[in-house]
Structure 1
Amino acid sequence: MNSPTTLIIYHSAAGSTELLAKAIYAGAAEIDSAALIALNPADIVAGRYVNEGVLQQVDQASAIIFGTPTYMGGASAQFKAFADATSERWCEQRWADKLAAGFTIGANLNGDQLSTLTYLSIFAAQHGMLWCGLDLAGGYDAEGRNRLGCQLGLTAHSLDGQIHEIDQKTAFYLGRRIARLAQRFK
């Protein structure tokens, strides 16, 4: 079986992050091979992520899009457990030169989602990855995408677990953008 070019790996607690992940996947899959991996809480043992099979799938992808809800101004504990489990890969720089991007959602319009994206971009930089943000100027896109105006990655807002239509369009766009860039780097 061939490895997907673009891999979306995410944690979703209430389902809204998963809805964004699925929209990103749809955009990426329109361009090239893509896969979704939801971080499973059962794979966290004593606070540490232990699914080596998932980590090996990440090793094989050309582009990785990380997703997590924003809790208390940062990534969820479940996502952080996954990130912490990548230290051996960091030491060996196994993910160096892969493309990376990120997305997050929160219950407030700001909710410090930028802090989560900053964490994800630093995580990618530590691995030697090449971070790709949105190339949509907030408030200037003809379709209204990137409505919250974050260039570092996709931020979304939801009070009721539903995803705003424009945030879904932005997620789809992000998936297409990263898949197109991954093709250019092949």
Structure 2
Amino acid sequence: MNGNTQVQIAVAYHSGYGHTARQAEAVAAGAAAVPDTGVRLLPLTALDDELWRTLDEADAIIFGTPTYMGGASAVFRTFVEATSKVWGNDLQWRDKIAAGFTNSGNMAGDKLHTLVDITLFAAQHGMIWVGLAEYGGWNTSSGSSADLNRLGSWLGAMSQSNNDESAETAPCASDLRTAQALGRRVAEVTHVHLRGRATAVPVLT
């Protein structure tokens, strides 16, 4: 792989009311800001051949779902279970880069449980997980909700949207910047990963 080769990243997500979709768009924007990176936003509304083809062709997949009642949405879980065919095909997504993000109405909302669930799902597919590498914000008396990574999450990107606010105003700007940071990091790591694989010396057994 040379410096002009384009990395392909897929952002596969479900959004119930539009808030997680805004987070997905921010993730995609962060990844696309890295040179030589192509990004596809994939709402999980239809599990059709085009979806599976795009995911198979991607070098990295970033998964997103709202957190409902302490876990991923039913739509996202339907997608997860449908990937059993991919998993059964000799770990077809093995060594792809993976990451995740989630949104909920409450500050905590047990979003960590959702991210753990996505991480285990990616691990079963033999994927390589990339977390968020941003110092936690809003953890001092001088901090504020405008801080990057204000919810202090590192397994993936978290955002919070008030239940009485539409997707036009929530998640807040800092949560969207945090999502962008995740997308950017995934793109950067994927470039490094593919360059390393291209130059690796085969191991003789």
User: Is 1:81 aligned to residue 78 of structure 2?
Assistant: yes
* Corresponding residue to 1:178 among 174, 186, 190: 186
Judge which range, 117-126 or 83-92, deviates more.
83-92
8 Å Cα contact 2:7-2:191 kept in structure 1: no
The separation in 1 between residues aligned to 2:185 and 2:93, in whole angstroms, is: 20
Structure 1's 74 and 3: CA in aligned 2 closer, same or farther, altered over 3 A? Answer: farther
Structure 1's 171 and 118: CA in aligned 2 closer, same or farther, altered over 3 A? Answer: same
Partner of 1:88, secondary structure, is helix
Matched with 1:36 is 41
Moved over 6 A (4+): 140-143
8 Å Cα contact 1:96-1:127 kept in structure 2: yes
Is there any run of 5+ residues in structure 2 with no aligned partner, and where?
A: 195-205
Structure 1's 4 and 158: CA in aligned 2 closer, same or farther, altered over 3 A? Answer: same
Q: How high is the sequence identity, in percent, across the aligned residues?
A: 44
Q: CA deviation at 1:36?
A: 0.4
CA displacement, residues 89-146 of structure 1 (integer Å, 9 cap, x when unaligned): 1122010100000000000000010000000000000000011111112128998211
Matched with 1:24 is 27
User: Is 1:99 aligned to residue 104 of structure 2?
Assistant: no
Matching residue's letter, 1:96: R
Q: How does 1:104-183 map to 2 (within 5 A)?
A: 104-139=102-137, 144-159=147-162, 160-161=165-166, 162-183=170-191
8 Å Cα contact 1:154-1:170 kept in structure 2: yes
RMSD across aligned positions (CA): 1.9
Is there any run of 5+ residues in structure 1 with no aligned partner, and where?
A: 44-49
Q: CA deviation at 1:4?
A: 6.0
The separation in 1 between residues aligned to 2:108 and 2:27, in whole angstroms, is: 21
CA displacement, residues 23-67 of structure 1 (integer Å, 9 cap, x when unaligned): 111111111111101111xx3xxxxxx413201210110011000
The separation in 1 between residues aligned to 2:51 and 2:7, in whole angstroms, is: 13
8 Å Cα contact 1:3-1:60 kept in structure 2: no
TM-score, length basis structure 2:
0.82
The separation in 2 between residues aligned to 1:80 and 1:3, in whole angstroms, is: 30
TM-score, length basis structure 1:
0.90
* Corresponding residue to 2:56 among 59, 63, 71: 59
Partner of 1:5, secondary structure, is strand
